[in-house]
A and B are shown apart, each in its own frame.
Chain A
């Protein structure tokens, strides 16, 4: 049995004609980390909020650990840990008071696991939450999602605001969860992060799942992107069909984004045939490249 089963799930908000989520179907198996990728407004958060039953689906259904997300919502939440994209916390209380409250609402399976997480994420539990930085608030949000050792983790932009050291700690925790058979469903903008921890990714655009694939096949996307400015705009057309280069998009009349079709050396060799005014590499960014790569072709 899949830990998360989503079947033709759709959501259309009242007074709107457009579907924020349309016929989404996917499954996440126990011990699998599923990255849900897409641009802002693509429908990632709507999917997560529907799974948590914060908003009602317009049609379709979803099951978590075999239970319906709408009709068995309370039972579902016994086995779910959730991190909101907003990391909303109570302002005036300390982390210690906050964790105690969360533990009263959902008792931990192993009481010392909370202490372990607090230590791992180096959380100061004595300061009022309103005085903490975004990164520290994010750590507290993560700990509250993990502290009761759920079978399913649903995390909206989990590494947002975390420094590299804490991101490492987060990856370790997710790796431990995976070993325990926890299914992790996380949304992200960060391709490197997805490649690092996900087994599979789904790409959502305009509320529809446009592609789903194992992380191994994402190599092309993780190759460097070259921003090439040519001296002659007439050469842009030739570059689009050049061997050893994968054309992504045209930025302006003289500038294009390309990726190596094979190796970087071959790509550079191919580029050497052109009169280039400027050449730079760009960071792989989902919003700009990933979606652009798939564009409307999918």
Chain B
């Protein structure tokens, strides 16, 4: 298992570096926007709060109003609710569906399964490599945010910034694990697993964000993962029980589904 984990990380070395650089640059760019935005907060808030609620919530989640002068509101609307998770969800889904799917497609999976390694251990090694890859990128991005935020007058407790980044990462990773388990457990191709998970994530994002517009969207929105993703609450230090439950559920369910499905299925 260790050999496969290290092999995966070693092969992904340059991709990890580039994803990390991209995440850090994007985060720093957004943090650097805070001082000039704060200076024009009055006008910007007026513009933002005059937007239709649905459109506003695409950037802010469930927040009723936006005050970009407030560090929590700024970080929630500009970094943690949409920008960073969208970037990381793309990474997690593409990796989640490819980590086994690409090997199955190119038949290199047979090289591994012809060795004395159980399917369960192989699956665990692959899932761990996905988690490790995301954690490396997330940890370095979190460090950059924590170190650089005060330089741009974003004075928030370090642990809140760390938690917000960690939850954003775990939330994004949950889609990677869904794609991974769909591909591992069934004969779904890599592209189909990606398509299903993209629909769940970004469809859910639209559904959850627009649910404030009409009442009939409120019920289906509860089935969208994004409904439970509330970084503003994390930045305020509030309890996010719904998000914790969603994450625990996804992590347990994907592990069980992937293991049970992959253990005995025919390799394509």
Contacts and interface: CB of A to CB of B under 8 A. Distances in A.
Interface string B228-268: 00000000000000000000000000000000000011110
B116 A75 contact: yes
Contact of B110 (A54, A90, A105): A54
A126 to B, nearest CB: 17
B7 interface: yes
B114 A82 contact: yes
A250 interface: no
Contact of B111 (A49, A53, A84, A93): A84
Nearest to A88: B107
Contacts of A101: 3, 7
Interface string A50-92: 0011111000000000000000011101101010101011101
A52 B110 contact: yes
B114 A80 contact: yes
Given A54-B266, A54-B267, A77 B11 contact: no
A207 to B, nearest CB: 16
Interface residues of A, number: 27
A144 B11 contact: no
Contact of B113 (A52, A75, A78): A52
Contacts of A74: 116-118
A105 B266 contact: no
B107 A92 contact: no
Nearest to A93: B11
Contacts of B11: 90, 92-93
Contacts of A89: 108, 111
B189 interface: no
B170 to A, nearest CB: 30
Nearest to A52: B114
A77 B267 contact: no
What are the 3 tightest A-B residue pairs by CB atom distance, in nearest-first order?
Answer: A88-B107, A104-B3, A82-B114
Interface of B: 3-4, 7, 11, 106-108, 110-118, 264-267
